[in-house]
Structure 1
């Protein structure tokens, strides 16, 4: 390095630092969620406990009585979402029909299986997210809804030491993300 460059380098670092700090200070801090949150399945506003699962790529939802069918030449699925409403404690059953966006192969301790993936709306905090959910009878699982990394990248950070950091408050009329 020549003598002029060695003298200029410290000056560049000094003058560049405030710009970097100013840019960092002007960015909004990301939302931090707990590993368990409450959400609302839309449009029915069913309150449900959801697990923010950084180990899952695709979100998953408890669905019963899956019946594939064709509509307008496309694959669709009819299913029931039976969830224990976390506000009332009552089991709520809601029928849905959704177009199959894709299928995923899920590997677990019991082997591999293919699941349909559909778009569903869920309210987390004050935002409604239209996200892809794989459908599976999760009746024996602790959490009927898992939020995977594809959705988490839109939410913010997950602090595994926290739970229930915010309540869902979404108006049905809010546009999906």
Structure 2
């Protein structure tokens, strides 16, 4: 083999090795860091333990909210809303009222038409980490799960959703 052909062979071997490492690493990571399609999480600051549905079909996360009242504060759009959640650990309903600045509005289309929803920042705990994420507010009383985690939040969590699993982790954000 000439020096040029050995150099070309070495470069191809290196490229193939790097490609193999790049494609193998995410698969190993995905298996160890996967979450189920339903997980238990905490809504903070009240530390209410509820079932979260991890929905890769939804872009924005959504949280159950009632009595949504929009108002203006210091020239910005704000909302006041009530959250009534069933705490699955304590088997009791927890009610809280929040005021949050509206980050943006989204338009949600469904079978009943389109509606405009406010999006606010809320803190949640999944596993052992706290996430400050955007949630659209909607009355989810008729839904099985009061909190829906969408792709934007899933991207920040950095885990793969395994649709064959549920409840793979317990929320433990006790040091926050």
TM-score (norm 2): 0.88
CA distance in 1, matches of 2:151, 2:25: 26
> What is aligned with 1:165?
168
CA distance in 2, matches of 1:15, 1:78: 58
> What is aligned with 2:49?
47
TM-score (norm 1): 0.87
CA positional deviation for 1:21: 5.9
Q: Deviations over 1:36-57 (max 9, x none)?
A: 0001000110000000000100
Give the one of 77, 89, 92 matched to 2:91.
89
Tell me how large the CA RMSD over aligned residues is: 2.3
CA distance in 2, matches of 1:15, 1:38: 44
Give the one of 74, 77, 80 matched to 1:78.
80
Q: Deviations over 1:81-112 (max 9, x none)?
A: 11100111211111100000000000111110
> What is aligned with 2:117?
115
Residue pairs, 1:1-177, within 5 angstroms: 6-17=5-16, 29-30=29-30, 31-155=33-157, 156-171=159-174, 173=176
Give the total of aligned pairs: 171
CA distance in 1, matches of 2:38, 2:115: 26
CA distance in 1, matches of 2:25, 2:62: 35
> Residues 110 and 19 (structure 1 numbering): CA distance in 2 closer, same or farther, change over 3 Å?
closer
Aligned 8 A contact 1:42 1:172 in 2: no
CA positional deviation for 1:68: 0.8
Query: Secondary structure of 2:142's match?
Result: coil
CA positional deviation for 1:128: 0.5
CA positional deviation for 1:18: 5.1
